[in-house]
Amino acid sequence: MNFRQFYKQRLQRYTSPSKVDRALLGLLYRSFPQPCRIIEAGCHTAHLSYKMARIGYSMTILDILDTPLRKAERKFLDSRLPVEAIHSDIMLVDGHWQGLWNSGVVQCYPPEKREILIKKMCSIAHTILLIYPTVEDRHFPRQNKDDTPPGIVGCKEYPVNDIPSIMSEYCHELYHGSIPPKQLGLAYPFEYVIGKPS
Amino acid sequence: MYFQTTTTFFLFLGVLSLDFERAKDHAEKFLESCVHSGLAHSWDTEKMRWVKPYPEVTGYILSLFSSRRIHEDLCSQMAHRLMRLQRPYGGYFSFKKKAAYVFDTAQIGKGLLDWYMWSKDEAAKKAVRLCGDFIRKMQLDSGAFFPIYSEKSRERVSLNTSWGTSFSTINCKATEFLIALQDAQVDDFREVINKVCQWTLRQEQLLYTHPGAYSLEGLWAGGFAKEVAARLEKCFIPRIQENGFLAYHPDLQYSYSSGSVQVGILCALNGCLDEAKSIWQWAWNVQQKHNNGGLFQYANPDGSINTSIHSEINSWGTKYFYEFSSILQTKTTTLY
């Protein structure tokens, strides 16, 4: 068994979505005290936003892909939970929210576009929470397909070292931490930054 | 006539040198007396007792005494207390518990490094290495340092509450410690040093003498002497009054003594000896206003204590004054 196969097996053994959800929800609740109007940028099927809406958060979900967004919207409506679904690129969105969060997109933007993305996010929300994997983890080979849009599984990912730096340019208050693999039930850690734009 | 002028000149130099010596002696006595249970304190002139045990400042005093090879027992006491206070990841708390500060860690690290160079105590070397690792981990890609590590949430934190808790240029002072580490061949910090200096150079104009002077000290240590001279010329030298008084901020009527003395030292190092001597005269006047040899933390233009914030005599201002007197003593002797 080579190194890659070993970690693939380990990953399968450890993968437990509920653990990831628990860890991320804990972070979300801490970052956005209720009541709070929040937008999830790049929501896909928005299962965490759905859980947040169920305990009283006012949610807006946004994605560039229509199909998962409609699926998410239907789930909210079936449960009679209010939701605003926006089918758009984040760069084209107008409005203001108390909180904005995203998981797994920011690392897919090349460094030169990343700053524009973060600047845009900071212009539409009071508190930003960005969650991203530590892509440099040598134990976890990334797929890195060039032709897949950002945020989609397997798309190209870039080093994440500069994310707190860029956030520090736009936020007067900043927290940078990581969620260890054990807590996530994954083979690699997540990093996060919570920023309050100036 | 020639003989008379020369005699007067050397007599003047002798008196000046004696003043430096006297100032140093008094400051040293204060610094010696402010250490209790291995930690430096400030003296509250109203409460008439020692207050605020301060690990960071203990690092300053440890560095000063160790580098001069004086007060060995006291140094050993301080070093051991500081090593006991270190967190497992290398950082040091400030007043606020459960949060380690980059700035404090760097100052303590410098003290412990100087102690190690004197005592060759391996435990001190280990502690110093941990300090360096902690500081390295707190740096952003841009060069700035997260000022705080929260032990509770395990996060690097920057708040916007004050210069001590934000992405501030004061952390450039860590350069002094990192360069010393480099020189002692404990570890390689060239990239960290270069990044923080470059970041500091990109920041805005300096208004407060303290912590403004901290960032200049860091830049000076990093080899940016020209840039330091330009900033002194632009931000501080024009504000020095005839009697050497330098206000804490252009809009304030009192001085942060340590800040003034720090600017004075930088002036002396940059060759602005007249300005440096003028500040020294004012600071000496402040020292003479109290008999314990320390300098009031906040002082009025006439050297008397300013109690608008508190009424303490602190050890870091006094430590800087000791160094200032030494530098001017050397410079004056060398010059003539």
Under a CB-based contact definition with an 8 Å cutoff, are residues A49 and A61 in contact?
yes
Instruction: Check residue A142 and give its pLDDT.
Output: 63
Q: What is the mean pLDDT of residues A118-144?
A: 82
Q: Is the pLDDT of residue B306 over 80?
A: yes
Q: CATH no. for residue A17? A: 3.40.50.150
Partners of B150 on chain A (C-beta within 8 Å) are 175
Which structural domain, as residue segments, surrounds residue A113? 3-197
- What pLDDT band is residue A125 in, cutting at 50, 70 and 90? very high
Question: Read out DSSP for B22-44?
Answer: HHHHHHHHHHHHTEETTEEEEEE
DSSP B62: H
Under a CB-based contact definition with an 8 Å cutoff, are residues B118 and B66 in contact?
yes
Whether residue A174 and residue B141 make contact (CB cut-off 8 A), yes or no, is no
Q: Give dist(CA B287, CA B175) in Å, integer.
A: 29
Helix (H) or strand (E) holding A114: helix A111-124
**Global pTM?**
0.88
Q: Give dist(CA B123, CA B60) in Å, integer.
A: 19
Structure tokens at B226: 């020209």
Pairing of β B255-256 and β B298-299:
antiparallel
Instruction: Check residue B6 and give its pLDDT.
Output: 52
Name the residue among B150, B154, B167 with its Cβ closest to that of A168. Answer: B167
Three-state secondary-structure class, residue A137:
coil
Pick B69 or A138 by higher pLDDT. Answer: B69
Residue of A nearest to B165 (CA): A173
Question: Distance (Å) from the C-alpha of residue B102 to the closest C-alpha of chain A?
Answer: 15
CA distances from B239 to A57, B207, B263 (A): 54, 10, 11
Name the residue among B153, B154, B160 with its Cβ closest to that of A173. Answer: B160
Q: Give dist(CA B209, CA B179) in Å, integer.
A: 24
DSSP B143: S
Q: Give ipTM to 2 decimals.
A: 0.84
Mean pLDDT for chain B overall? 91
Q: Is the pLDDT of residue A139 over 50?
A: yes
Domain boundaries, chain B: 16-47+229-336, 53-203
Name the residue among B141, B154, B158 with its Cβ closest to that of A174. Answer: B158
Q: Could you tell me which of A149, A165, A116, A195 has the C-alpha nearest to residue A42?
A: A149
Structural domains in chain A (count): 1
Under a CB-based contact definition with an 8 Å cutoff, are residues A40 and A60 in contact?
yes
User: Per CATH, is B53-203 categorized as 3.30.70.120?
Assistant: no
Q: Give dist(CA B87, CA B89) in Å, integer.
A: 5
> Which tens digit of pLDDT belongs to each residue from B133-188?
999 999 999 999 999 999 999 999 999 778 888 899 999 999 999 999 988 877 78
> Which tens digit of pLDDT belongs to each residue from A71-100?
999 999 999 999 999 999 999 999 999 999
- Residue labelled with tokens 């007043």: B95
How far is it between the farthest Cα atoms of chain B? 76
Under a CB-based contact definition with an 8 Å cutoff, are residues A108 and A158 in contact?
yes
Residue of B nearest to A191 (CA): B155
